Structure 1
Amino acid sequence: MLEALAGVFETDGLLWLMMGVVAAGLVRGFAGFGSGMIIMPVASAVLSPVAAVTFMMMAELLGPLPNLPAAWREGAPRDVARLMIGAVITVPIGILCLSVMDANFFGWVVSISVGILLALLMTGWRYKGELTPKLTVVTGGLGGFMGGFAGVPGPPVIMLYMSSRLPIAVIRANFLLYLLAIDVVMIAVFFVLDLFVWKIALLGLMAGIPNVIANMIGARLFNPNAEVIFRRVAYLVIALSAIIGLPIWK
């Protein structure tokens, strides 16, 4: 552990990682999601896949905590619990696939899928059906797999809720609760499977400090009455994640 601590500040790409964490915190505080989509492309460029996911989930762990009480009041914890039923089942599967599935192929699948769904949203498509418990569990399961495999558990849940008619304050709160809960599950699975890269885990935890500050600033910028701005920011984050996630940049 002491050796890991001593090597934290010698990590390659440290400045880029810190910049990514701050940008991710601002977006997460404002929109309730998007941090993994920002951190993972940066982390993947300088760290191994397992180390990158380790950094992401540890860096995200502390950031949303100041906004947690408000999210609990404004959101729908029961819906988030249903999302987590699916996620708990699939997170370990995604993590186990992390070391055996071709990352380039998966990158293409994720980026193309996100791009198609974004186009549907921007053309005015909305999910008009009921957010049934079964649909919510399945969506959480897909998000859990993507979180375990690629560190981006948000897209399926984002697409489900951003296409709904729910108030943006509820959507934002549910995003925050779900993403925090899935980080906790992923950390537990990494620990059980002894996959932690301890130097990177410590670096991610330390990066949580500027992440907290950035989350608080982002939350102050959020206006529940500015739905148009909220959706535009959400669409921009999704589009950037799809573009940055393309394997052609690696």
Structure 2
Amino acid sequence: MESGWALAFPLLALAGLMTLVAAAIRGLTGFGMAIILVPLLGLIVRPDEAVIIAILLQLFIAPVGISKIVRDADRASAGLIVGAAMIATPFGVWFLAQTAPDMARVIIAAIALIAFLLVLLPPRPHSKPGTVETLLTGLAAGALTGFAAMPGPPVVPYYLRQTITPERARASMLLVFFGTAIAATLSSYLLGLINPKILSLSILLFPTVLIGNWLGSMAFGRISERVWRSAVALILGLAGFSAVWRLIQS
């Protein structure tokens, strides 16, 4: 890990490659950028810095394709989740600021693994989540957004366990993540966690996010629903187990 943020070109190129892959996964599945990117960037910068960079990158990319996202999404549930998430996000950001880097790595690894296990739960073909479950999903998403830039672990199972199309699930998740990115960015700024160096690196990495997201979006819709859902579970599983492996090796 480089000190003083004097990232050499090879490390910057590596960060760009990590970001490209994570953004392509986001474009394909509707989530996963932070789940993949935060543990990887944490090898180059501090875990808290990796989280803030991921938050900013999610905010930068969120408006891309927003009109179609709003049109395809389940706006009612997404609105409730975002509203609850905005309440909980500042607490997650505050907790991140108070947590030692080693403990943050442990928690982030656990979050990634739990997300995979939740997606493996059986679907609910004849039931739709009620208001209480939706609000609890939002509160959990907000807390995890602030702490790890990862609203996905509660949100992905919420939508994927319903019998809705991949287009609707993906759009709903992207709409939720737009709202959580706004809340997390505001909270991080107010708590003084966004500095010029973090902002500069985020801006440098953003072109790779645009390219990766475009590549993933091109692939979405060209694969079957079964393959898409399998890809979602596989990505979560790889992220979870790789995070645990890196934790064991550290």
User: For residues 7 and 151 of structure 2, what CA distance do their matches in structure 1 show?
Assistant: 28
Q: Work out the CA distance in 2 between the residues paired with 1:136 and 1:17.
A: 35
State the Cα distance separating 1:221 from its structure 2 match: 1.2
Q: Which amino acid aligns with 2:93?
A: I
| CA shift for structure 1 position 145 | 0.8
Further displaced range: 52-61 or 34-43 = 52-61
Q: Which amino acid aligns with 1:92?
A: P
2:197 to 178, 196, 199: 199
Aligned to 2:248: 248
CA contact (8 A) 1:58 1:208 kept: no
1-structure distance, mates of 2:215, 2:223: 18
1:66, 1:105 → 2: CA distance? 33
The answer to whether the Cα contact below 8 Å between 2:22 and 2:34 also exists between their aligned partners in 1 is: yes
What is the 5 A alignment of 1:136-175?
136-175=134-173
Q: Is the 8 A contact 2:113 2:237 kept in 1?
A: no
Alpha-carbon displacement from aligned partner over 1:49-76 (angstroms, at most 9, x marks no partner): 2211111112222334332221111112
- In structure 2, C-alpha distance between the alignment counterparts of 1:225 and 1:9, rounded to whole Å: 38
Supply the distance in 2 between the matched residues of 1:238 and 1:112 (Cα, whole angstroms): 7
The total of aligned residue pairs comes to 240
Q: Distance in 2 between matches of 1:103 and 1:81?
A: 29
Residues 1:230 and 2:228 are matched in the alignment: yes
| Deviations 1:182-219, CA, capped at 9 Å, x for gaps | 11111111111111132122211231122112212211
> How far apart are the structure 1 equivalents of 2:112 and 2:36?
14
Partner deviation per Cα, 1:224-247 (whole Å, 9 max, x = no partner): 771011101101111012112222
Cα pair distance change 1:116/1:29, threshold 3 Å: closer
- The farther-off stretch of 90-99 and 200-209 is 200-209
Taking structure 2 as the reference length, the TM-score comes to 0.87
1:139 CA drift (Å): 0.3
Question: What CA distance in whole angstroms lies between the structure 2 residues aligned with 1:224 and 1:130?
Answer: 28
Q: Which amino acid aligns with 1:71?
A: I
What amino acid sits opposite 1:117 in the alignment?
A: L
1:134 pairs, out of 128, 132, 142, with: 132
| Structure 1 gap ranges (5+) | 1-6
Distance of 1:119 and 1:78 partners within structure 2: 25
- Map Cα deviations across residues 129-164 of structure 1 (whole Å, 9 max, x no partner): 322222111101101111111221111100111111
Q: What is the TM-score when the length of structure 1 is the normalising length?
A: 0.87
CA distance in 1: counterparts of 2:216 and 2:65, whole angstroms: 10
State the partner residue of 2:39.
41
Identity %: 22
Match of 2:118 in 1: 117
Change in 2 beyond 3 A, CA 1:33/1:115: closer
Q: Deviation digits for residues 88-142 of structure 1, max 9, x if unmatched?
A: 111111111113343254245424523432443xxxx113532222211110110
Q: What letter corresponds to residue 106 of structure 1 in structure 2?
A: I
The one-letter code matched in structure 1 to 2:248 is I
Give the corresponding residue for 1:95.
93
For the Cα contact (< 8 Å) 2:34–2:150, is it kept in 1? yes
After TM superposition, give the deviation of residue 78 of structure 1 in Å.
2.4
Q: Is the 8 A contact 2:47 2:105 kept in 1?
A: no
**Is the contact made by 2:23 and 2:209 (CA closer than 8 Å) also made in structure 1?**
yes
Give the C-alpha shift of residue 20 in structure 1: 1.3
- The residue number in structure 1 matching 2:107 is 106
**Uncovered stretches (5+) of structure 2, i.e. residues with no partner:** none
Paired residue type of 2:111: V
